[in-house]
């Protein structure tokens, strides 16, 4: 194996991507085509001294605009108001490795743990309602059986049926009834239609169309409610996660995209990480963030969770520790939770 400094392909570069003690982290404006946002450049959320996110892995917003931040730090689930004030916390001692969170139609909370290969459903105040999967190592890799390091959940609005993206060691989507009975599964490893290379995110629209973030194939695939392939969205940079929002008057898909370059082109632009905004015909409406990864204001690391509230503000959770901070020398925690306040 090459030394870290010689790893021109897969190494993490710090020069040009980090800030020093004397550098300013300040407010910036990003966006285009009427989708412009104000970012503070700092971690969002007023957490107490001594607490840490370590990294925020997922975020969602409920019907009251309460913001649920699923993280790998002091307390796994932190619920904020839209100003960043803590309303509630829960989940200590429950999760092995928090990964995905989804708020259902009745504000129930689905939490996906890829560390013990489970999906758990809670009330909004943290009472456990259902567990799918037996906590442990999970199903055999690429067996197609639930679960082998699952990633995300989406709920079908009309029926309450839900889909589980399964994920890191499988290449499958599972569909369940509201009470947790498996209906069917589909998918396999590969690059073709209906094949996946990291099933990382899932969204269902009001018509029942299922959108899958096929991360390492750099695309979103679209299926009907029976798992039949319909189309794919391209021109993306490692599409990791999506959320659907209708607050602008038309349905928009917000997509968190990872950096797609390598160490030797680490300063390349328009390679992610970024947020892409699309209509449901796959047309790009706007991009937020065109610079390479970094902790400078207006940049991202790895948009791993995304949510939009009733005002059109965007919340982005980033696995900055896993992908970047843990690989720095010395290792350090980086910004992992940002709010993009929409300017109208």
Q: Does any domain span residue 190?
A: no
- Provide the pLDDT for residue 25: 83
The helix (H) or strand (E) run that includes residue 323 is helix 320-323
CB 153 within 8 A of CB 163: yes
CA distance 186 to 204: 16
DSSP, collapsed to helix, strand or coil, labels residue 324 as coil
User: Given the structure tokens 């189309």, which residue do they identify?
Assistant: 231
**What's CA 282's distance to the chain center, in Å?**
19
CA distance 339 to 39: 6
Domain that holds residue 334: 1-55+243-344
The helix (H) or strand (E) run that includes residue 322 is helix 320-323
pTM of the full predicted structure? 0.96
Q: Does any domain span residue 309?
A: yes
Structure tokens at 323: 């992908």
Residues in the chain: 344
Q: Does any domain span residue 216?
A: no
- Provide the pLDDT for residue 4: 46
Q: What is the pLDDT along the chain (344 residues), one digit of tens a residue?
A: 344 455 667 678 888 898 876 566 889 999 999 999 999 999 999 999 999 999 999 999 999 999 999 999 999 999 999 999 999 999 999 999 999 999 999 999 999 999 999 999 999 999 999 999 999 999 999 999 999 999 999 999 999 999 999 989 999 999 999 999 999 999 999 999 999 999 999 999 999 999 999 999 999 999 999 999 999 999 999 999 999 996 666 799 999 999 999 889 999 999 999 999 999 999 999 999 999 999 999 999 999 999 999 999 999 999 999 999 999 999 999 999 999 999 98
Q: Does any domain span residue 8?
A: yes
Q: Does any domain span residue 308?
A: yes
String of DSSP letters for 136-174: SS-SPTTS-SS-SSEEEEEE-TTT--EEEEE-SS--EEE
- Provide the pLDDT for residue 11: 74
Structural domain count, the chain: 1
Q: Regarding beta strands 303-308 and 109-113, do their DSSP bridges make them parallel or antiparallel, or are they unpaired?
A: unpaired
Q: Does any domain span residue 164?
A: no
- Provide the pLDDT for residue 6: 58
CA distance 160 to 183: 13
CB 184 within 8 A of CB 146: no
CA distance 87 to 68: 10
Strand partners, 36: 31, 343
- Provide the pLDDT for residue 21: 64
| Residue 149: C-alpha distances to residues 138, 188, 278 (Å) | 7, 15, 28
Q: What is the pLDDT of residues 18-66, one digit of tens each?
A: 887 656 688 999 999 999 999 999 999 999 999 999 999 999 999 999 9
CB atoms closer than 10 angstroms to residue 141: 13
Q: Does any domain span residue 304?
A: yes
**End-to-end Cα, the chain, rounded Å:** 51
Structure tokens at 20: 């020093």
- Provide the pLDDT for residue 1: 36
Q: Does any domain span residue 104?
A: no
CB 257 within 8 A of CB 6: no
């Amino acid at each position: 194996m090459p030394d870290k400094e010689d790893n021109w392909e897969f190494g993490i570069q710090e020069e040009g991507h980090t800030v020093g003690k004397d550098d300013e982290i300040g407010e910036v404006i990003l966006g285009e085509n009427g989708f412009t946002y104000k970012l503070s450049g700092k971690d969002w959320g007023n957490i107490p001294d001594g607490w840490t996110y370590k990294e925020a892995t997922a975020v969602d917003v409920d019907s009251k605009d309460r913001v649920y931040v699923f993280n790998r730090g002091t307390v796994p689930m932190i619920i904020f108001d839209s100003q960043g004030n803590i309303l509630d916390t829960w989940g200590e001692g429950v999760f092995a490795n928090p990964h995905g969170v989804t708020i259902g139609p009745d504000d129930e909370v689905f939490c996906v743990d890829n560390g013990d290969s489970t999906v758990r459903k809670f009330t909004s105040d943290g009472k456990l309602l259902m567990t799918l999967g037996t906590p442990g190592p999970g199903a055999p890799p690429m067996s197609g059986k639930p679960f082998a390091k699952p990633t995300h959940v989406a709920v079908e609005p009309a029926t309450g049926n839900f889909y589980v993206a399964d994920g890191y060691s499988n290449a499958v989507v599972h569909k369940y009834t509201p009470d947790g009975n498996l209906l069917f599964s589909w998918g396999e490893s590969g690059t073709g239609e209906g094949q996946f290379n990291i099933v990382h995110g899932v969204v269902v629209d009001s018509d029942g169309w299922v959108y899958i973030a096929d991360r390492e194939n750099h695309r979103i695939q679209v299926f009907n409610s029976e798992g039949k392939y319909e189309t794919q969205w391209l021109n993306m940079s490692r599409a990791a996660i999506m959320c659907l929002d209708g607050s602008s008057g038309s349905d928009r898909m917000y997509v968190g995209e990872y950096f797609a370059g390598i160490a030797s082109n680490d300063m390349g632009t328009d390679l992610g990480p970024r947020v892409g905004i699309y209509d449901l015909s796959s047309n790009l409406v706007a991009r937020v963030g065109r610079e390479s990864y970094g902790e400078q204001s207006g940049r991202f690391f790895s948009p791993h969770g995304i949510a939009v509230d009733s005002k059109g503000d965007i919340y982005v959770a980033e696995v900055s520790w896993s992908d970047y901070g843990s690989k720095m020398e010395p290792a350090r925690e980086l910004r992992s939770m940002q709010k993009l306040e929409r300017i109208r």
